[in-house]
Structure 1
Amino acid sequence: MGVEFHPQNNGNTTKEAQGPRCESGGPLILGLQPSALVDHVAKVDWSLLSQIPGERGGSFPVANEELKHILSEVNTHILSLPNDPSSMKTIAGGSVANTVRGLAAGFGISCGILGACGDDEQGKLFVSNMSFYGVDLSRLRMKTESTAQCVCLVDELGNRTMRPCLSSAAKIQADELTREDFKGARWLVLRYAISNLEIIRAAILLAKLEGVLISLDLASFEMVRKFRLPLLQLLESGNIDLCFANEDEAAELVRDEVTSGPEAALEFLAKHCEWAVVTLGTNGCIAKHGNEVVRVPAIGEANATDATGAGDLFASGFFYGLIKGLPLEECCGVGSCSGGSVIRSLGGEVTPENWQWMYKQMQTKGLPVPHPGK
């Protein structure tokens, strides 16, 4: 018997639109994204990537004028996608937003976003897209500044290069956070960024007062490379319960250590975090919890169109496994299925058809299949 996709589509942010919530009324998973972000995702030829600042494959911040220049150049470098009339997508984005949207849409887990967005067209798009899937936006502050944007450039092989523009964007500040923001949540999802370090630290302090577990994504190899010391201080604080790193971020994390490589990075993270996960692209992932270490293969890499959101959706599946109390290997298995689902189309939002693909993969592997919307 097939599994049907039922998105939590209520088109609003009322209490009834949020799906199942924990007893205290808050979402189980709360994502901190200080600045709401809109992604412009396009598949482009290599020549455009060679013309913009920063290394290919990473996430390098740009000023507003540079963002406008890149967007103006996209149309002359765009590649048409097979079986997809849309060569460019504009959707709510950001790593944390991708993760919580995936949890709400594909897994039926109650989620919320804590942050700020601008009272502009981009802000309205962010709100519309996230609330379509029942993500709780009651902690999203509306401000007069503009909403942050990011250009996600995807090459012929599906590798993505990101250029976010966060200057002058609407952003929640550390002194605006309250303990009430974190009540009822089981997990707080964070993404490392030096520009958000003050709010990250404030959020961790308040969340821990409420007994909330903390997850940290290492964001990008450039961020780890340039701001490794503050990251190490975060990890060594003992407040990070779960850490996700991809292979490039892992390499930067242990570059000054005696031993290097993904396994060394996993051991390094596991010294400070209860759960440590290193994703390895086509080679799957490795994870550690306590004394248990597992290695799980990737799923769906042969059909990769765009790697945007692969790590974010992996996290969605992994969180689903944790919420359901699954063993570590099965948490990684669900993560591999959900990470594989998003790379089959453009952008960090999984299509209904690709959720169906994921459910079938989970059934085949004997993993518990969610029934969102039921």
Structure 2
Amino acid sequence: MGVEIQPNETKTGKETPGNNGIGAPPPPLVLGLQPAALVDHVAKVDWSLLSQISGEPGGSFPVVAEELKRILSEVNTHILCSPDNLSSSKTIAGGSVANTIRGLAAGFGVNCGIIGACGDDEQGSLFMTNMSSYKVDLSRLRLKSGQTAQCVCLVDEFGNRTMRPCLSGAVKVQANEITQQDFKGSKWLVVRYAISNLDIIHAAVLIAKEEGLSISLDLASFEMVRKFRLPLLQLLESGNIDLCFANEDEATELLRGEEDANYEAALELLSKHCKWAVVTLGSNGCIAKNGKEVVRVPAIGKEKATDATGAGDLFASGFLYGLIKGLSLEECCRVGSCSGGSVIRSLGGEVTPENWQWMYKQMQNKGLPVPDLANSKS
């Protein structure tokens, strides 16, 4: 892959804040594993473009570089005009894990870092600038010679999103590059299921467990669950996953072919292997289980939904914040509903300052602990 900049170095070779050294800041409380840094190209488009793309609408499945280029070349001629004069397209740092980590850092003030790699190209620079602007620790992000992964996120008039990531040829961190030092002092590792990263996920999870971290797993997409269900079940059955997030479609795919293939049965299955199991149900809220306790919580902010991109990722941000604060299962879900509702109010998986304020107000109204940084965002 060419020259690699190690986690505790910058391009100039000077030491950056990490886990070692006198006066160094504390290690991130929450780490995200995103082997390949990703840049999202988000656009609100008409249905005619969505009908030209292979695969089912609403999910996320990888495409080759040629297909990504073709889709991007068509986007401008299919963009829907925004009635409120807001931009109908944007390019930001993306990826499910990055969205969750950025949300925890930006909206909840949690000390977060990311493990992965990005290319020394324009997209890589954009990714690092965006994440570092929210004080996400990038000392575990390896900078390599090569391309940064990209994803096109197409949003229809109803706010539903269809994602087509292109990972082929992109740089990423390898399993043998992940070390114990990456996890020293941290408490949580956030992971997203992907068959192409399975060896990296297994390596990271095993080391993280040795260092005493809890593991949060997102099931990624219904296509990923459908096509690679067995390796996913094996990962869950390993007993290493403490918290699992699935949306309704992903949960149902876990039980495809079985008589009781529904999200409630899937929640039971997940809860057998994970301490906390959560199934998000879009506008119908969520259902979660911890031990024998099962709670249902309604969605918040659905009437103002503009784009579902990042809804599950930001729900995870809020839920994890709740666990870190020692809240009850129901309260964790309520915080998740507030943060998930905040991101769907604008385009892309990045919450605007105005929508963070909206979230804080919702939390306050529901008697939930509002992050200390809320006043500084006023």
TM category, shorter = over 0.9
Alpha carbons 1:119, 1:144 under 8 Å: kept: yes
Instruction: Find the counterpart in structure 2 of residue 55 from structure 1.
Output: 56
1:251 and 2:252 matched: yes
Alpha-carbon distance between aligned partners in 1 of 2:187 and 2:25, rounded to the nearest angstrom: 11
Q: Which amino acid aligns with 2:318?
A: G
Instruction: Find the counterpart in structure 1 of residue 82 from structure 2.
Output: 81
Instruction: Find the counterpart in structure 2 of residue 147 from structure 1.
Output: 148
Instruction: Find the counterpart in structure 1 of residue 320 from structure 2.
Output: 319
Q: How many residues align?
A: 357
Alpha-carbon distance between aligned partners in 1 of 2:229 and 2:150, rounded to the nearest angstrom: 25
> What is the 5 A alignment of 1:32-71?
32-71=33-72
SS class of match (2:246): strand
Alpha carbons 1:300, 1:341 under 8 Å: kept: yes
Alpha-carbon distance between aligned partners in 2 of 1:182 and 1:71, rounded to the nearest angstrom: 37
Alpha-carbon distance between aligned partners in 1 of 2:133 and 2:254, rounded to the nearest angstrom: 37
Kindly report the root-mean-square deviation, in angstroms, between the aligned alpha carbons of the 2 structures: 1.6
TM-score scaled by length of structure 2: 0.92
Alpha-carbon distance between aligned partners in 2 of 1:319 and 1:220, rounded to the nearest angstrom: 20
Q: Which amino acid aligns with 2:54?
A: P
Alpha carbons 2:17, 2:139 under 8 Å: kept: no
Alpha-carbon distance between aligned partners in 2 of 1:136 and 1:24, rounded to the nearest angstrom: 10
Alpha-carbon distance between aligned partners in 2 of 1:137 and 1:328, rounded to the nearest angstrom: 31
Superposed CA offset, 1:44-75 (max 9, x none): 00000000111100012111111111011000
TM-score scaled by length of structure 1: 0.93
Change (3 A) 1:299 1:14: farther
Instruction: Find the counterpart in structure 2 of residue 306 from structure 1.
Output: 307
Gaps of 5+ in 2: 1-14
* More moved, 357-366 vs 24-33: 24-33
Instruction: Find the counterpart in structure 2 of residue 230 from structure 1.
Output: 231
Alpha carbons 1:317, 1:338 under 8 Å: kept: yes
Instruction: Find the counterpart in structure 2 of residue 333 from structure 1.
Output: 334
SS class of match (1:80): coil
> What is the 5 A alignment of 1:179-194?
179-194=180-195
Alpha carbons 1:24, 1:184 under 8 Å: kept: no
Superposed CA offset, 1:140-188 (max 9, x none): 0001110000000000000000000000001000000101111111110
Instruction: Find the counterpart in structure 2 of residue 7 from structure 1.
Output: none
> What is the 5 A alignment of 1:248-287?
248-287=249-288
Alpha-carbon distance between aligned partners in 2 of 1:144 and 1:199, rounded to the nearest angstrom: 20
Alpha-carbon distance between aligned partners in 1 of 2:200 and 2:26, rounded to the nearest angstrom: 24
SS class of match (2:139): strand
SS class of match (1:48): helix
1:29 and 2:33 matched: no
Quote the offset at 1:14 in angstroms. 5.6
SS class of match (1:271): helix
Quote the offset at 1:84 in angstroms. 3.6
Instruction: Find the counterpart in structure 2 of residue 4 from structure 1.
Output: none
Alpha-carbon distance between aligned partners in 2 of 1:229 and 1:329, rounded to the nearest angstrom: 31
Alpha-carbon distance between aligned partners in 1 of 2:179 and 2:259, rounded to the nearest angstrom: 42
SS class of match (2:154): strand
Gaps of 5+ in 1: 1-12
